[in-house]
Amino acid sequence: MHPGRLTESMKCAEVQALAKAYGQDHVFAFWETLTESEQEKLAKQVSAVDFELIRRLYEEVAKRSGPPALDPRRLEPSPVIGLPQTQAEKDRCEQARKVGEEALRNGRIGCFLVAGGQGTRLGLSGPKGCFDVGPVRKRSLFQLHAEKIMALRKRYGAALPWVVMTSDATDSATRAFFEEMFFFGLGEDTVRFCKQESLPAIGLDGRLLMESRSSLCMSPNGHGGSIKAIHDSGCLDWLARHGVDTLSYFQVDNVLVRICDPVFIGHHLMAGAEMSSKVCRKRDWREKVGVIGFVDGKLSVIEYSDLPDDLAQETLPDGTLKWWAGSIAIHMLDVSFLRRLNQGGFKLPYHKAEKAIACIGPDGHPVKLKPGEKNGLKFETFIFDALPMAKASVTVETERALDFAPIKNATGEDSPASARAMLTALWASWLERAGKTVPRKADGTPDCRIDISPLTSIDGEHLGMLKIGEIKRGGDVVA
């Protein structure tokens, strides 16, 4: 047993003793005032805490000062397979497509969706994946991705097993939603769930923060926790039994993501890579995406919050951004690589985030914080921190309009409205390519609502056969 972690079978006295040994016995300050069920809840929660990990994170991460572990001042450009321009580049792209399609047909590819987030910012109390993103018809993010996978199954005649990562906050609701929707027709036996771990939040003094008298303040361990979750849940073994050796990784809030993109798969396989990434050109230097490059000779991603403004604004002679390659959380991952990252313990580093955390004080009453005051630390891991550990990797540029429309904010950029607008723009371009006339406004945007299911067309195919008649201004196109 890990020296700093308890098992659920330990008696309450042992739970309290270990907490005291690590200077965290304040979590039981209100023990005598709790009901029996509250005591059981608290004891179970505390028994799951890895006290040694929390001690180490406070000493080695929280107290660390100076520049980030990855010093952005040492960032250097790294090779990117750009959008094909020359005939040679187009030929290589076509070669990659063929390699990727063969891997898909041979059943080597699986899907890995990260969906641990809640829809709080969007006014949704449940999992973000349940958010309705359909421009016309009601369609959740989960359904949109499921329809893409169903369409890919039909195209390539492969199972495309799907792993969905949840969190403590979203797990039960996500499973219930999939059951309610009959797994979107995919078949329950082709979908598996894994749950990322949560870590306690601590105060600036290293002491565990209490959400209430009977519960700790907990938070998910970041999207990097997906690497541990998929391993610990047994999902890697399940994928291997299905013949899957490579995973298409994506996040739930990106409505445009091209799941299992054969060109991306092909580039990854042709390079013998263990982890590969898609990037797109940043909108501007302020965009909140990390940038990819070499740091001390190793491929890495510098998080946007760690990139100083003067570096972020650097330009090339042609006036474009020097650090243009934005990391958009679309990856290819080898199953064997994920196994290696978990051998002998979880390998990814933890990052600290100072936050204003709602908690109770020593008197058991809510702590009142001043505006802007940060009273605690949360720890998380990032998926892209696995890049330096990969023996080989490729970075592939993609077009934002084809692959990246995240929903992060309630309004403005990266919002439901902007995501629906990008979906509509993409579908309009497909219809025009198929010979249809799409009415447009003075600014060039479609003057109609369009909603095309991936089951109808996943990349613009078959739309020429649609009998939709004239598309009227302000009208709806549903296919």
Integer Cα distance of 415 and 282 in angstroms: 17
Integer Cα distance of 252 and 112 in angstroms: 10
**pLDDT score for 1:** 45
**pLDDT score for 67:** 65
**pLDDT score for 371:** 94
Please list the ranges in the chain whose pLDDT falls under 50: 1, 6, 8-9
Burial class (CB in 10 A: 0-12, 13-18, 19+), 387: buried
Give me the residues paired with residue 333 across strands: 247, 275
CA 328, 109, 459, 177 dihedral sign is: negative
Question: How many other C-beta atoms can be found within 10 angstroms of the C-beta atom of residue 143?
Answer: 22
> Which domains, ranges and CATH numbers included, belong to the chain?
1-49 (no CATH), 67-413 (3.90.550.10), 415-479 (no CATH)
323-335, pLDDT tens digit by residue? 999 999 999 999 9
Q: Are 322 and 359 in contact (CB under 8 A)?
A: no
Alpha carbon 5 to its chain's center: 28
Give me the residues paired with residue 248 across strands: 111, 332
